[in-house]
């Protein structure tokens, strides 16, 4: 359940931002980007977030997770493809190994909505 | 009605861990230490491989171990028999080591020993194929282990670990006669996502393949002592199954 640790890290980062504001704002949404080729499960992250923000400056805030697909670029075929996670990672056309990942490794706090 | 605002952050979720890992690596570089992060599922044979490694390589290098274990010191005690510094870190209920825990281990090491005399720090991570792959601890190289009893499909199911590895040890090869396992398929599955990884097939029990592993360790220590910030290059990663 490393999503618990990740959520702690997320809250610390958001809190640093929150403290740096001239007037402590009321945060309504925290937007994340989570790639499909990471070890992070969005459902677990949502759960950990809801539990950990109780009675904090984030109470009532919503976590919005945008998942990004795994996209690799095959230099032999000179085109992008979507590997099938758990089944096939090599290029479906020429079977070259997956080397150049263009999307899917993101774990990012994108933006905060506040009033 | 409230007016709402947007603030763009664009910060990595693991930013704090990454910064800690970079800090740990800076310490290792300053002391001229090569650091390997050893990862696998529980029971793949990390401690057994470390025992065999310490038995031979302590004659050539000054080695220390940072041992991650959820609740016990059982593994640490096995390795202390080789008269090397072993710093045990109980991770409690956490299923991986993070850079902060390893920083604690580094400080103990620096306090109780002379770190500039140490050539290699082996970090034995908590047995787990998922989480440790996302939490860098300050290592220069990642070593993954996969025992042949685990099945050929594991690299496909737990890709991040195998995609990030610099060296993969396929362990327990002495059990091959008793199993329907296709080692070539394990290799092919890993190469699909990590074509340049060094793959060495070993048995801690019989000693098969261990000389190739020791040679790889020697070459990486040599390489890192010359250019600590540079990871091994593709050309040098061609031992064993190539």
Question: Is the CB of residue A5 less than 8 Å away from at least one CB of chain B?
Answer: yes
Give the closest-approach CA distance of B189 to chain A in angstroms. 8
The answer to whether position A20 is within a domain reads no
The class of domain B15-236 in CATH terms is alpha beta
* Predicted confidence (pLDDT) at residue B228 exceeds the cutoff of 90: no
Domain limits, chain B: 15-236
User: What pLDDT does residue B229 have?
Assistant: 54
CA distance B152 to A95: 19
* pLDDT single digits (tens) A52-74: 999 999 999 999 999 999 999 99
* Domain assignment of residue A85, given as a range: 3-14+27-114
A/B interface, count of CB pairs below 8 Å: 98
Smallest Cα–Cα separation from A98: which of A72, A61, A64?
A: A72
Determine the distance from the C-alpha atom of residue B49 to the mean position of all C-alpha atoms in its chain, rounded to a whole number: 11
Residue B124 and residue B66 in contact, taking contact as beta carbons nearer than 8 Å: yes
CA distances from B79 to A61, B43, B49, B86, B237 (A): 48, 16, 11, 7, 28
Nearest residue, CB atoms, A86 vs list B11, B12, B157: B157
Residues of A in contact with B191 (CB under 8 A): 97
The answer to whether position A65 is within a domain reads yes
User: What pLDDT does residue A1 have?
Assistant: 63
User: What pLDDT does residue B237 have?
Assistant: 37
User: What pLDDT does residue B242 have?
Assistant: 34
* pLDDT single digits (tens) B77-105: 999 999 999 999 988 777 899 999 999 99
User: What pLDDT does residue B35 have?
Assistant: 98
* pLDDT single digits (tens) B151-161: 999 999 999 99
The answer to whether position A52 is within a domain reads yes
Residue A70 and residue A36 in contact, taking contact as beta carbons nearer than 8 Å: yes
Give the closest-approach CA distance of A4 to chain B in angstroms. 9
User: What pLDDT does residue B221 have?
Assistant: 97
What CATH number corresponds to the domain at position A73?
Answer: 3.30.2320.50
- Give the ipTM of the model, two decimals please: 0.85
Average pLDDT, chain B: 91
Q: What is the mean pLDDT of residues A86-91?
A: 96
Q: What's the structural domain count of chain A?
A: 1
């Amino acid at each position: 359940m490393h999503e618990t640790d990740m959520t702690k890290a997320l809250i610390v980062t958001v809190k640093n931002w929150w403290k740096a504001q001239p007037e402590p704002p009321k945060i309504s949404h925290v937007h994340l980007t989570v790639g499909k080729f990471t070890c992070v499960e969005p459902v677990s992250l949502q759960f950990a977030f809801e539990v950990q923000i109780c009675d904090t400056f984030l109470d009532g805030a919503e976590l919005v997770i945008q998942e990004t697909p795994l996209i690799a670029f095959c230099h032999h075929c000179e085109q992008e493809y979507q590997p099938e996670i758990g089944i096939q990672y090599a290029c479906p056309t020429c079977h070259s190994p997956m080397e150049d990942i263009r999307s899917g490794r993101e774990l990012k706090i994108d933006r905060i909505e506040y009033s | 009605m409230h007016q709402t605002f947007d603030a763009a952050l664009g910060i990595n979720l693991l930013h704090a861990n990454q910064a800690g890992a970079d800090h740990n690596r800076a310490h290792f570089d300053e002391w001229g230490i090569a650091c390997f992060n050893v990862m696998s599922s529980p029971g793949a044979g990390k401690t057994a491989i470390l025992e065999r490694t310490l038995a031979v390589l302590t004659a050539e290098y000054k080695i220390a171990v940072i041992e991650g274990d959820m609740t016990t010191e059982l593994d640490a005690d096995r390795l202390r028999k080789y008269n090397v510094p072993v710093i045990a870190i109980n991770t409690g209920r956490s299923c991986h080591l993070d850079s902060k825990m390893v920083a604690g281990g580094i400080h103990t090491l620096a306090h109780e020993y002379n770190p500039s005399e140490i050539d290699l720090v082996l970090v034995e991570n908590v047995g787990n194929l998922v989480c440790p792959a996302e939490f860098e601890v300050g290592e220069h190289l990642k070593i993954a282990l996969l025992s042949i009893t685990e099945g050929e499909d594991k690299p496909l199911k737990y890709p991040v670990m195998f995609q990030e590895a610099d060296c993969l040890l396929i362990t327990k090869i002495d059990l091959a006669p008793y199993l329907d396992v296709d080692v070539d398929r394990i290799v092919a599955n890993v190469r699909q996502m990590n074509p340049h990884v060094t793959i060495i097939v070993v048995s801690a029990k019989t000693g098969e393949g261990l000389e190739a592993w020791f040679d790889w360790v020697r070459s990486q220590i040599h390489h890192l002592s010359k250019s600590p910030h540079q990871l091994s290059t593709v050309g040098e990663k061609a031992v064993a199954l190539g």
